[in-house]
């Protein structure tokens, strides 16, 4: 896939993660549920299925705690957002009672709190996740509190290196999704849930409503697109802090007949199968696992080159790009790409620069939850083996 550093888990010996039961502590301090929390859930499920033990520390009342309990994991809840003195003391006491082989710190606040809780404890593998592509503030925490960093994409890995983390301590593991769920959508069911007839051209975006996801650019592009294709309806699944301002922008651009906010949806596979195009206008992006869902759904993708997106759909070892990509924060280029795609669909022609069949093949080869779990386990094994040799 994308260019990897020399520690890429796909270059490690086959079967390195195949034997031996591990105890892995996971720390998450997030209040809500986003891509990182979903990947942590899939990792815990995969480890449990392979016979490994999970010790979960999660923010009290947070979505990760709630959902992992519902999945019958034992969860130690952390007070004060998971990073204050009380949380650190509670975590440290639990870790001393049951020293794990690995502690996996799933967000930056988890790195601080979990890192402090581990000081002086004999936990040989201390793994820090990194999901965002902007420069690291306080990079010393990654050097002091972890002995390996796992970024989700090439761009994130480059940001880690630029922040002073040694390349030998960095291994990329891309996100993965459950292919059965991602492929399970139904076009008729999805359109029926939206009340949208087959003669409408449906654009779907799935993203939290934040500046990094580029919804303002999408709206600006849509203003141009609907002049040429008035049968277009665009919908956005997801909620967030920009809901109010974006609703105001929709009204200002007079896009109410063409754009809908759906809020949180549990039927994303149906929405993606219902879509004529999946449009992802990201400004900043660590990777964008929603695009993997679209790849499994076979939905044509129009997106940007932001962050780690080229790792998923850009040119790579198996050939050309499988999605049409435009520069971020360029509404005119986005409008042109969407319009070209809609015109091709109207004429029954292939969409320029878009290959849903090869995107689906690529997803099966590289971006399953199984591949993510095995890649992560390989890192655990390698770090543990290195610790034994010291």
Strands 277-280 and 301-304: parallel
Quick check: helix, strand or coil at residue 333? helix
The reported pLDDT for the residue numbered 9 is: 36
Cα separation, 103 vs 380, in Å, equals: 10
| 264-290: average pLDDT | 97
Q: In terms of Cα–Cα distance, which of 106, 122, 104, 99 is closest to 35?
A: 106
| The two domains 9-176+368-389 and 179-366 share their CATH topology (first three levels equal) | yes
- 164-190 per-position pLDDT tens digit: 999 999 999 999 999 999 999 999 999
Task: Domain 179-366: give its CATH code.
Answer: 3.40.50.2000
Pick from 81-95, 190-204, 324-338: least confident: 81-95
The reported pLDDT for the residue numbered 5 is: 35
Burial of 186 (0-12, 13-18, 19+ CB in 10 A): middle
Domain ranges of the chain: 9-176+368-389, 179-366
Q: How far is CA 197 from CA 81, 202, 215, 298, 343, in A?
A: 45, 9, 24, 20, 19
The CATH class of 9-176+368-389 is alpha beta
Is a pLDDT exceeding 80 seen at residue 23? yes
What burial letters (b/e) apply to 274-293, b meaning 16+ CB within 10 Å?
bbbbbbbbbbbbbbbbbbbb
Cα separation, 233 vs 251, in Å, equals: 15
The reported pLDDT for the residue numbered 8 is: 38
Cα separation, 234 vs 218, in Å, equals: 9
| 273-295: average pLDDT | 97
- 97-150 per-position pLDDT tens digit: 999 999 999 999 999 999 999 999 999 999 999 999 988 988 899 999 999 999
- 30-70 per-position pLDDT tens digit: 988 888 999 999 999 999 999 999 999 999 999 999 999 99
Per the prediction, the chain carries an average pLDDT of 93
The reported pLDDT for the residue numbered 215 is: 98
What's the predicted TM-score (pTM) here? 0.91
Is a pLDDT exceeding 60 seen at residue 375? yes
Is a pLDDT exceeding 60 seen at residue 2? no
Is a pLDDT exceeding 60 seen at residue 3? no
- 213-245 per-position pLDDT tens digit: 999 999 999 999 999 999 999 999 999 999 999
The reported pLDDT for the residue numbered 188 is: 97
Pick from 81-95, 247-261, 269-283: least confident: 81-95
């Amino acid at each position: 896939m994308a260019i990897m550093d020399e520690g890429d888990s796909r270059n490690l010996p086959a079967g390195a993660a195949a034997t031996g039961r591990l105890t892995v502590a996971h720390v998450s301090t997030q209040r809500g549920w986003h891509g990182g929390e979903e990947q942590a859930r899939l990792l815990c499920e995969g480890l449990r299925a392979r016979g490994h033990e999970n010790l979960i520390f999660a923010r009290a009342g947070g979505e990760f705690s709630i959902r992992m309990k519902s999945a019958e994991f034992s969860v130690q809840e952390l007070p004060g957002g998971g990073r204050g003195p009380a949380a650190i003391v509670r975590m440290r006491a639990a870790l001393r009672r049951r020293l794990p082989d690995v502690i996996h710190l799933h967000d930056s606040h988890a790195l601080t709190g979990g890192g402090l809780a581990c000081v002086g404890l004999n936990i040989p593998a201390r793994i820090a996740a990194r999901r965002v592509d902007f420069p690291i503030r306080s990079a010393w925490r990654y050097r002091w509190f972890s002995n390996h960093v796992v970024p989700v994409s090439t761009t994130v890995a480059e940001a880690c290196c630029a922040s002073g983390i040694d390349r030998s301590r960095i291994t990329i593991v891309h996100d993965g999704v459950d292919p059965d769920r991602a492929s399970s959508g139904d076009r008729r069911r999805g359109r029926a849930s939206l009340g949208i007839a087959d003669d409408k051209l449906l654009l779907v975006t799935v993203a939290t409503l934040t500046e990094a996801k580029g919804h303002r650019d999408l709206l600006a592009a849509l203003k141009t697109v609907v002049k040429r294709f008035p049968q277009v309806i665009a919908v956005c699944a997801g909620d967030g802090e920009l809901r109010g301002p974006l609703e105001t922008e929709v009204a200002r651009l007079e896009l109410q007949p063409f754009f809908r906010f759906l809020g949180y949806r549990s039927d994303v596979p149906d929405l993606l199968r219902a879509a004529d195009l999946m449009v992802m206008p990201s400004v900043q992006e660590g990777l964008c696992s929603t695009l993997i869902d679209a790849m499994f759904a076979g939905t044509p993708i129009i997106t940007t080159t932001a962050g780690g997106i080229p790792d998923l759909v850009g040119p790579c070892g198996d050939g050309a790009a499988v999605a049409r990509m435009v520069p971020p924060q360029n509404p005119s280029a986005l409008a042109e790409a969407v319009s070209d795609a809609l015109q091709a669909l109207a004429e029954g022609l292939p969409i320029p620069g878009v290959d849903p069949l090869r995107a689906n093949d690529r997803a099966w080869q590289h971006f399953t939850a199984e591949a993510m779990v095995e890649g992560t386990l390989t890192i655990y094994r390698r770090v543990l083996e290195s610790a034994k040799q010291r």
